[in-house]
Structure 1
Amino acid sequence: MRIKLTQDLVCGNETCLTGEEYEAVLILPRSTTVEFVADSGKKIRAFNYEYVTVSSATDT
């Protein structure tokens, strides 16, 4: 799924800014927490209130 951040995320030295888009995967099938890879290669998790879904795997 593709997500767009609605909040800035800071994880160590990595900062992901509001409005940036990433390819993400759900942590668990019924979870709303996603994990994505930042530009530096670091894996970051975002909670449902920190992103909106831009497109999902079922979109064509």
Structure 2
Amino acid sequence: MRIKLTQDLICGQDTFLTGEEYEAVLILPRSTTVEFVANSGKKVRAFSYEYVEVLPATDI
């Protein structure tokens, strides 16, 4: 799934800004928490209130 951050995330030295998009996966099938890989290779988790799912135009 593709996500867009709705708020800034700060994880150690890494900062992820509102509006940035990432390819992410759900942690568990019934969870709304997702995990994505930063450019540094670090895995980052985002909660449902920190992102929105982005749908490609072909999916509409």
TM-score normalised over the length of structure 2: 0.90
Q: Which has the larger radius of gyration?
A: 2
Greater per-residue helix proportion: 2
**2:38 aligned with 1:38:** yes
Distance in 1, Cα, partners of 2:20 & 2:38:
10
The percentage of aligned residue pairs carrying the same residue is 81
TM-score normalised over the length of structure 1: 0.90
| 1:14 counterpart residue number | 14
Number of residues paired by the alignment? Answer: 58
One-letter amino acid matched to 1:25: V
Alpha-carbon displacement from aligned partner over 1:3-47 (angstroms, at most 9, x marks no partner): 000000000001100000000000000000000001111100000
What stretches of structure 1 move > 6 A for 4+ residues in a row?
Answer: none
Distance in 2, Cα, partners of 1:55 & 1:2:
7
